[in-house]
Structure 1
């Protein structure tokens, strides 16, 4: 077992999908929020627990949205997720085919599924569409349920196809023996890897995790206390007792590495000339806000003599965007109720604002 430069831990090799993911090169293709299971640790936000589709943060209205988002990200692959993508199998297959047709066979696509809907027919559809890697997440923490037994039988059927097969489960403290059982099952079937994710609190799983006595490692972190240790225990055991590759994906990897690298890839393709790209891949620029934007725009161009190419009238957010240096010169020169700010945003479709500092 060794620690990677991505703040994660690995036994053997990283799965192909993970290699691209840690570099921010995987499009997150959320095909539906519908899922046949209700896992107590599911972190999915309320608005995504419906039959909705997203390419990263962009809502999908048609397949062109997927293509556009992949181009902006300069994606080299996609991770198909949900919900359970197999809940809307024809939509999922359509999206996979679209990506392969537009970006070629080398565009690597992996998919997550519970296994419950992984019938022979559905698996064949995915394989024929060009899926490269499939990751199963059965209900291993409820081994006596009928759902779990069906999932296990369906997983066995996936080995009739020539693609990479693995498992992916959260490191739930106290459930190490169940994860070990799953690792042995995968190893016996001939799977390639088992990914283990550090468990985290979210808005939707908070009560369920607290009721089970789970707590965060600190007030500043969403990671569950004991989850990382649990995952490391599995990797140490797995290295000695199975032939699987293992990857322990930490909360720090997701926040400090994967997301940042994806933002950097996107920022250079969406940044306007007046925007600065920060080390974290966010966009930094200045804005002016005023009740009558057209009046303000006319004032800046005709009276303050600001070149029009330095200004962007953003009617949707009701502001005028500009270089920070320009705003710093204008803040003392423009009288009235005009307010100037330096803002920092994600370069994503939803342009989430992460910081706003008033210029005084």
Structure 2
């Protein structure tokens, strides 16, 4: 039976362990390289991640300590390793897996996504020995006559020689039901545990290509592609009747409304300063004041406006003084001149993405 999860997604049987942690915001997203042996027409990767770069969530990684720090801030219980193809930088990926296990223990659950093109027996052995718990293969399913696809399928077979959870991860592309069924039967025959299906979405990088191919958005407000969700549900119904795999249809809404929000909440409680309010969405809300001379403004606020110094924080990087929202509201009424006051909301992430700014009169 296909059942609807509390996370706006759909499943057959049980969710994979990696997904159970992910939907609760408990998985660190570890991007170990943007390098990939394939160039899929639906790949949403942004231009600045298409090179050989490393990110832990939104944090650019200079060394493995950055990864550990980000996992601690998030209170992560596991990591999902992605790319590009993480196996394109195998030694780096293996080092991160081993270091995360050493720092957070064997119960820190790590899953990894790969095309399979580089998953030689030697590579798989290194990943397994480092402590990888779950491996998810995304072969070039929609280009079955390519030499690369044949290599990927042969490599996937080798993964079943190791004692970890093996599964698949593919997009739900309208018109490709037969290829999806073929892959499900292949995985089921070899003893895989699950097959995850992702609702196809437009991204900045794929918009023109997908429109040119005839795909349409569900609505003006959504990045999801028309027909993808319906195909995914049809596929899950078929899979429940014809295979023993578990299935998870991961929707566009899950990623934004659930997974991201839950991760932000976990991070917010660890990075919020005393003057910041953590919202229901997991953002940080507080007041700011902007002025040409921050030191002069700070001195004025403390000595003339008699604002307690512990309520104020000079953020020189962003050129502002931060404070509780209610203090900014009061000061906006009382302070004359060129000082500008705002209420802002930011993500509690490394890049502190600003999602709202309200000017105070």
Asked if TM exceeds 0.5, the reply is: yes
TM-score range with shorter-chain normalisation?
A: over 0.9
The alignment status of 1:53 with 2:37, answered yes or no, reads no
Structure 2 CA distance, aligned partners of 1:74 and 1:212? 42
Q: Secondary structure at the match of 1:329?
A: helix
Q: Secondary structure at the match of 1:356?
A: strand
Q: Secondary structure at the match of 2:53?
A: coil
Question: Following superposition, which runs of at least 4 residues in structure 1 exceed 6 angstroms of deviation?
Answer: none
Residue matched to 1:31: 32
Residue matched to 2:291: 290
Query: Which sections of structure 2, spanning at least 5 residues, go unmatched?
Result: none
Residue matched to 2:261: 260
Residue matched to 1:322: 323
What's the C-alpha RMSD, in Å, of the aligned pairs? 0.5
Q: Secondary structure at the match of 2:261?
A: helix
Structure 1 CA distance, aligned partners of 2:120 and 2:207? 33
Structure 2 CA distance, aligned partners of 1:332 and 1:192? 61
Q: Deviation digits for residues 277-334 of structure 1, max 9, x if unmatched?
A: 0000000000000011111111101111111100000000000000011111111221
> With structure 1 as the length reference, what TM-score do the two structures score?
1.00
Write the mapping of 1:1-360 to structure 2, written as runs, cut at 5 A.
Answer: 1-360=2-361
Q: Secondary structure at the match of 1:67?
A: helix
- CA drift of 1:211 comes to 1.4
Structure 2 CA distance, aligned partners of 1:58 and 1:9? 31
Q: Deviation digits for residues 198-228 of structure 1, max 9, x if unmatched?
A: 0000000112111110010000000000000
Q: Deviation digits for residues 68-88 of structure 1, max 9, x if unmatched?
A: 100110000000000000000
Q: Deviation digits for residues 146-189 of structure 1, max 9, x if unmatched?
A: 00000000000001100000000000000011000000000001
Structure 1 CA distance, aligned partners of 2:327 and 2:281? 23
Count of matched residue positions in the alignment of Structure 1 and Structure 2: 360
Query: Which sections of structure 1, spanning at least 5 residues, go unmatched?
Result: none
> With structure 2 as the length reference, what TM-score do the two structures score?
0.99
